[in-house]
Structure 1
Amino acid sequence: MIRAVTQVVSISRLAKQGMLTLSDSFLLVFSVISAFSLQQGAWFWPADNWNDPLGILILIAPFIAFPIFIYFGLYRSIVRYIEARAASSVGLAVSLYAFIWGLVVFLTGIEGISIAVMLINWLVALLVIGGSRLFARGLLNSHKLKINQNVRPLSRVMIFGAGEAGRQLAHALWFSEEFHLCGFVDDNKKLQGLELMGVPILAMAKLAKFVDQQQVSEILLAIPSASRNERNEIIRRLQHVRVRIRTLPGLSVLVRDQVGIADLHELEIEDLLVRELAVPDESLLQKQVRGSVVLVTGAGGSIGSELCSQILKRAPKILLILELNEFALYSVQRELFSQLKCEVDNENDSSISVRLLPRIIPLLGSVQDEGRLNILVQAWKPQVIFHAAAYKHVPIVEHNPAEGLKNNVFGTLAVAKVAINHEVPNFILVSTDKAVHPTNIMGASKRLSEMILQALAAEHSITFKSMDSSVTTIRRTHLSMVRFGNVLNSSGSVIPLFRKQINEGGPVTLTHKEVTRYFMTIPEAAQLVMQAGAMSGKEDGAEVFVLDMGGAVKILDLARRMIEMSGFRIKDMDCPNGDIAIEVTGLRPGEKLFEELLMGDNVQLTEHPRIIKAHEEFIEWKYLETYLDALRLTIERNDIEGMQLILQKIVKGYRPHAEVMDWVDMERTRYIPSKQKK
C-alpha cells in the first residue's frame, strides 16, 4: 500500500488530473443511476443499453460537469492539501452541475423523470465527488508519516497554545514534510484532555512525561496575544523540559499565506528581556523626520541601519545615509530600497506617485573629514542629524586608543561644528551607558563627546579655532544626546556570540559571573533616539535622554536562559553529564562589572512615560577647547599616557586600566603580552 501511494504521489500533475477526471466520470454516471434506482426502489439500468434518450442523459452528465468543475478549480487543488475553501468550491460546482443537468432533463420533456430524481442526483453527486476527494486526502495523509520516514526522520513537535493561532500552525504542520505533530499544551482547563486534529491537548503538569514518552524535540509557541510578561513566564515554565523552543510568525502573516513552516524561527531576541518592550509614541517618531531632509552618520552600523529603517517608515523627504565602510553602505542601501519597494507594493492606492516617495542617497565619507561634511550639509541642508558613527567595541578601542579618540571625540566635534555653522535645526548624538564613570577609552571618548555638545549648547555664539577667527557663529542648532545600555543582537553583542557557541556545542564563555548589563532591543534604541530628538530643544542646554530599561540583567542568567531555550542542559557540578558548559574567562581590559545610566540625581520626566532626561556637569567651551587641543597633540604623537592623563582631568570618574594596552606602543617598547608568547 505504501508503495502504491508513493507511486501515485510521484506521478506528474497532468497524470493526476487525468486520473481524477476519469474517476469523476464514473462517479457522476453512478450518481445518476443511483438517483433513478433510489426513486424507483429497485436497481435501474437503461432499457436499450444507453441507446435510448434516458441513457444519453445519463452519459452526458460528465460533459455537463467538467467545464463547471474546471471553472471552480476542482482540478487545480492538490488533493492532499484540500481545505474548507476548496470543499466549498466542490459544493458550489456540484450544485451548479446538478441544476443544469436537471434543467436539461426538464427541457427534453422525457416523461417519468420526477424532481425527486434531480434532488437525489444532486445529493449523491455531492457525496461521491466530495467524498472521493476527502477519502484520497485521508489515504495520502495517513501514509505521509511512513512515506517521509523512508526519506528522513521528522522533527517531533508540540504546540503551546490550542487557540486559533495554534490550530493554524497545526494545519500547516500537517502538510509539512519536516514535522510530526505530537500534541498541544494549553493552560485552558476546558481544553485539557480533549483532542485537536487527532492529537491530545495536555496540561503543563503532564508535559515532561509526555515529552519523554513521545521523544518530542521542539515546542512551538503559538500565543500571539500574550503580553511580554506572560510570554516570559511561559518560557520560564518550559525551561525544565529539555526541548528546543521556537515561535511562529504573526498570525496575520500566516492568514495571508505569505510564509510557510520554513519561516518558523528561533525565539525572538525580545524574549530574552525580562520586561515589557517600550511602546513608542508615533507622534514623536514622526515629529522631526516626516517630510524632512535627514542625515544619519554611521548608517551601516546596527543602530544606524535601524535608525534609517525607522526613519524611512515615517516618510522623510530625503534620507542621507553616511558611512565610511563601502560594503556596509551598499548593504544598508539595498535593505532600504527593498523596504521601500515593499511599502509601495503594499500600498492600496495604485496611483501612488514616485515623486512622493523618499529619496535615499548613499554617501561615502568619514565623520572626521570636516571638508566632506561641509560639502554634504551645504548641498542638502538637512533639518536633523542623527550622529551614530562611532567605534564602540571596548577591547578594540582599548588597544587602539588614538583612533578611538579621533573617531569618537573629534568626529563628533566635526559633525557638531558643521551642523552649527550651517544652522541645522537639530543634532542628536547616540551615546552609551559606558560614558558614565568610564573605566575604558571607549567610554571616556563617548563621555567627552557628550561634554562637547553640553559645552557648545551653553554658548550663544561660538568661534571655532579651526575656522576664520573673525567669524562668529550664532548657535541656532538644538543639541541633545541619547544614552542607552547594551543593544541585543547588535554587532559585537553577547547574543550572537552565545548563539554561535551554543550551535557549536559550547562552551559558552563570559568574563565574570557577576557581570550585569542593561539591555534594550535594536528597534527600541532607534526609536528612543528619534523620540528624544523630538523632545529636545525645549530648554537651554544639551539634554541627556535615557530609556527606563528596568533592572540590570545578569549575563550568567542570560547565558543559562539561551542554553535552556535551545533545548540543552547546562553542564556544571550539579549536572556533570549536561550538554553545554559555561566558562569564565576573566574581565577584559577596561571592562566593568556593572554599568550606570546617569551620573547624578538631577532627573526629570518627559512626555514619554519610559524616557527620562537629565542635565549633567560639564566644562565651559573656552576651557574644554584648550583640553581638546592638547588631546589632539597627544593623539598625533600616539602618547598613550598623555591621552589618559588629559582624559582623567576632564572626564569625571574616568579610571584607566593600570597597564598601557595600545598595540603600537607595546610594539615600540618591545613589550609582548603573555598571551602572545603562547
Structure 2
Amino acid sequence: MVIKRRVLFLFFIDLFIIWLSVGGSYFFHSDGPGWSEVLQYGLIFSIFCGGSLLYFRMYNRIWQYASVGELVAIFKAVTLGGIASYGIAAIVMGTWMPFLTAVTTLETMLLLMGGSRFIWRLLRVKPSSKAEDTRRKILMIGAGDCGALITKEMLGPEFSDQKVIGFVDDDPKKQGMHVYGLPVLGDRSQIEAIVSKYAVDDIIIAIPSAPQHEIAEMITICKGTGVKVKIIPALNDYIHGRVSVRAIRDVSVEDLLGRDPVVIDLEGIANYVSDKVLLITGAGGSIGSELCRQIASFKPEKLLLLGHGENSIYNIEMELRRLDPSLNMETIIADIQDRPRINDIFRKYKPQVIFHAAAHKHVPLMERNPAEAVKNNVFGTKNVADCADKYGAEKFVMISSDKAVNPTSVMGATKRIAEMYVQSLDACSATKFVAVRFGNVLGSRGSVIPRFKEQISIGGPVTVTHPEMVRFFMTIPEAVQLVIQAGSFAKGGEIFVLDMGAPVKILDLAEDLIRLSGYEPYSEIAIEFSGIREGEKLFEELLSDEEVSNATQHERIYIGKPVNIDRSELELEFKRLEKVLAEGGGGIRDVIGKLVPLHRSAS
C-alpha cells in the first residue's frame, strides 16, 4: 500500500512537470497562446509521455542508487513519449505543434524529471556530519577501470561507514583528474604523505593487471604507512566480472614474494598424466592434496589417493568430489612403511605415474626421533620405488627438499638418502625415477606462517629462532605446478631444482606478517629470539658443490647433475640401517653419516 501511494505521488509529480513543460513552452514561444490548444496538447502529452514512463518502469527504481543507467532510461522514456505525443497531436488536431515549442517542451521535461530524481538521490545519500567524522577513510591505489568500479560501489549507502578520499595512480595523465568526483592525489611516491595528510585508515590496491613484482613493490610502500592494506582479487576475476567490494581480501605474505605466475606447458603435462592411472602418496598433506587438485584437471584415468591419516584423506576426497563429481578416484589408507600393503596396492591398481609426497618433514621432531625418519623417509620411499620398478610404472617423481643439500639434520639426510636410492634404481629400471627439490612452502602444515599467525592472534610474542636465519619460500600451488611440469621433462635419474627466487629473512617475514595483521612489530606485538633448534642451519642451499645446474625447457626449473652412486655400497649401508633399526635404533646417526658424508651431526 505504501509502495502504491509512493508510485502515485511520483506519477502525479511527473504529470505536473508535463503540463508545466507544455504550458511554459507555449508561453515563451507564442505571443498569445490559445489556452484550449495548450489544454489539448497537455492532455495528449500527459497520456503518451505518462504511458512511456510507465512502460520503462520509471517508478520501479530506487532513485537513491541512481546512476548513468537511470539517466539513459529517463532520456528514452521522455524522448519516445514526446515524439509519439507530437505525432499523435498532429493527427488529432489536424495541425503540427510549432517545432521550437515541441523541442522546448521535450528539453524542459528531461531537465525537470531528471533533475528532480537526482536531487532526491543527493538528499538521500548525503551523510550527517557525525557519520562523516567517524567513517573509515580509504585510499584507492589505481584510478583505472577496476579502482573506479570498486569506488562506485563504495559510494552507495551500504558502505556509509567508509569513505574513499581519493586515488593514487602513476599515470601522469591522471594527475589532478577526478573519478566519481574524487581526486587523483598523486603517484606512489606520495603515498606516505597522503596517508598522513588525510589520516587514511585503509589502503586498497586496485591494479589487478599489474605484474606481481610491481604489486609487491606497492605493498612494500603501503605497509610502511602502518595502515591496513587490502587488495582486489586476481585479474582473471576482474575479466569475468567477479570483482566487488565483498571480494576484496587482506594482503597476504604470498603477495610480498612478488613472483609472476608460473607458465606451464599444458600439452606436455597432459601427455604423461591424462588417461593414466596416477598414485599420489601423502595425498592428504599440503603438497599431496594440491597435487591431487591440479592433476584432477588433466582427467587421469584413475587417481589413487594414498595416505596414512584417514581424516586428511577424507577431506581431500570430499573436496575433489565436490569440484568434479565425474573424477574416477580411489582413496587408500595405507602406511608406506608397510611393504606388503604397498605391494598389494601396486599389484591391484598398477599405477603408471607416481608422485611420492609422503614424508616426515619436521626437522626438530625428526632430530629427536631419527629412527622414525629413517623408517618413513628412507624405507618408505624404498618400498614405493621398488614397487614402481616391479610393476612397470612409467614415471616416479619424488618430492624432495633443499634440506637434503649438505644436510645438518636427520630429516635432511634421510631425504638425501632417498634421492640417492631412486637415482641408483633408475640406472637399472625401465621406470624413469626423478626427484624434485625445493625449499619451504608458505602455509604448509608445520611451516612458520601458520605458527606466526597463531602467535599474533593471541597477542604475541612471535618467536623467531635467529635474526639472521633465511629460507627459500614458494607458494604451495606454485611449487606443485613446477613439480608436475618437471615430471614431463623426466628422462630418468635427474634431480630437478625449482627456482625459489631470492631467499627471505625469517625476521622480515615475521615483521611483515605482524604489519599485515594491523599491528606494529615490537611495540604492539613483541618478537623474541628462541635460538637455532637442533638440526637447523642459518642458510639453506638448493645444490651441493658436486651438483652442476643445467637449464631445462622451463625458466624456473633446473637439473642438478647427479653424482656417481655405488649401488652395491648403497645396498650394504641399507642393510646396516635395517640391522640398526631392528636392534632399537642405537647408533643410527653413525650409519646415516656413512651414507651421507656431508652430514654434520647437530648433536
Q: What is the TM-score of this pair, normalised by structure 1?
A: 0.80
- Letter aligned with residue 506 of structure 2: I
Distance 1:511 1:131 in 2: 66
How far apart are residue 147 of structure 1 and its match? 5.6
1:519–1:553 Cα contact (<8 Å) kept: yes
SS of aligned partner of 2:381: helix
Q: 1:275 to 1:53 in 2, by over 3 A?
A: closer
1:24–1:62 Cα contact (<8 Å) kept: no
Q: Does 1:458 align with 2:427?
A: yes
2:437–2:496 Cα contact (<8 Å) kept: yes
Among 147, 155, 159, the alignment partner of 1:174 is 155
Give the equivalent residue in structure 1 for 2:415: 446
SS of aligned partner of 1:22: helix
2:202–2:227 Cα contact (<8 Å) kept: yes
1:243–1:566 Cα contact (<8 Å) kept: no
Distance 2:132 2:340 in 1: 65
Q: Does 1:655 align with 2:587?
A: no
2:49–2:85 Cα contact (<8 Å) kept: no
Q: 1:79 to 1:318 in 2, by over 3 A?
A: farther
How far apart are residue 445 of structure 1 and its match? 1.8
Q: Does 1:325 align with 2:312?
A: no
- Letter aligned with residue 482 of structure 1: V
Q: 1:56 to 1:603 in 2, by over 3 A?
A: closer
Among 219, 231, 235, the alignment partner of 2:219 is 235
Give the equivalent residue in structure 2 for 1:351: none
Give the equivalent residue in structure 1 for 2:444: 490
Give the equivalent residue in structure 2 for 1:96: 80
Alignment map for 1:602-641 (pairs within 5 Å): 602-617=548-563, 619-639=565-585, 641=586
Distance 1:590 1:93 in 2: 77
Distance 2:83 2:174 in 1: 43
Where do 5+ consecutive residues of structure 2 fail to align?
none
1:158–1:182 Cα contact (<8 Å) kept: yes
SS of aligned partner of 1:60: helix
Distance 2:343 2:102 in 1: 85
How far apart are residue 479 of structure 1 and its match? 0.6
1:269–1:521 Cα contact (<8 Å) kept: no
Q: Does 1:217 align with 2:201?
A: yes
Among 159, 168, 185, the alignment partner of 1:185 is 168
Among 518, 541, 548, the alignment partner of 2:499 is 548
- Letter aligned with residue 587 of structure 2: G
Q: Does 1:361 align with 2:345?
A: no
How far apart are residue 318 of structure 1 and its match? 2.9
- Letter aligned with residue 638 of structure 1: G
Q: 1:308 to 1:46 in 2, by over 3 A?
A: farther
Distance 1:245 1:123 in 2: 47
Among 380, 393, 400, the alignment partner of 1:411 is 380
Among 101, 114, 127, the alignment partner of 1:143 is 127
Q: 1:444 to 1:16 in 2, by over 3 A?
A: farther
1:425–1:478 Cα contact (<8 Å) kept: yes
Deviations 1:43-77 (A, max 9, x none): 99996899x8656535534651354123xxx4555
Deviations 1:456-495 (A, max 9, x none): 1122xxxxxxxxxxxxxxx321110100011122222222
- Letter aligned with residue 480 of structure 2: A
Q: Does 1:30 align with 2:11?
A: no
How far apart are residue 618 of structure 1 and its match? 5.7
Where do 5+ consecutive residues of structure 1 fail to align?
1-13, 342-356, 460-474, 572-577, 659-678
How far apart are residue 255 of structure 1 and its match? 5.9
Give the equivalent residue in structure 1 for 2:392: 423
How far apart are residue 146 of structure 1 and its match? 5.3
1:46–1:55 Cα contact (<8 Å) kept: no
Q: 1:545 to 1:109 in 2, by over 3 A?
A: same
Distance 2:564 2:389 in 1: 19
1:284–1:534 Cα contact (<8 Å) kept: yes
Deviations 1:173-193 (A, max 9, x none): 222245321222223344333
How far apart are residue 219 of structure 1 and its match? 1.2
Q: 1:514 to 1:91 in 2, by over 3 A?
A: same
Give the equivalent residue in structure 1 for 2:433: 479
How many residues were matched structurally? 598
1:160–1:221 Cα contact (<8 Å) kept: yes
How far apart are residue 155 of structure 1 and its match? 2.7
Q: 1:619 to 1:209 in 2, by over 3 A?
A: closer
Identity %: 36
1:506–1:581 Cα contact (<8 Å) kept: yes
1:570–1:579 Cα contact (<8 Å) kept: yes
Distance 1:438 1:205 in 2: 44
Q: Does 1:512 align with 2:447?
A: no
Distance 1:107 1:417 in 2: 96
How far apart are residue 136 of structure 1 and its match? 2.7
- Letter aligned with residue 141 of structure 2: F
Q: 1:633 to 1:231 in 2, by over 3 A?
A: same
SS of aligned partner of 2:304: strand
Q: 1:562 to 1:195 in 2, by over 3 A?
A: same
- Letter aligned with residue 491 of structure 1: R
Q: Does 1:298 align with 2:282?
A: yes
Give the equivalent residue in structure 2 for 1:597: 542
- Letter aligned with residue 369 of structure 2: N
Distance 1:271 1:319 in 2: 32
Moved more, 158-167 or 623-632: 623-632
1:388–1:429 Cα contact (<8 Å) kept: yes
How far apart are residue 546 of structure 1 and its match? 0.2
- Letter aligned with residue 508 of structure 2: D
1:401–1:441 Cα contact (<8 Å) kept: yes
- Letter aligned with residue 72 of structure 2: S
Alignment map for 1:263-342 (pairs within 5 Å): 263-273=247-257, 275-276=259-260, 278-340=262-324
Distance 1:400 1:490 in 2: 21
Q: What is the TM-score of this pair, normalised by structure 2?
A: 0.89
SS of aligned partner of 1:580: coil
Distance 2:4 2:169 in 1: 41
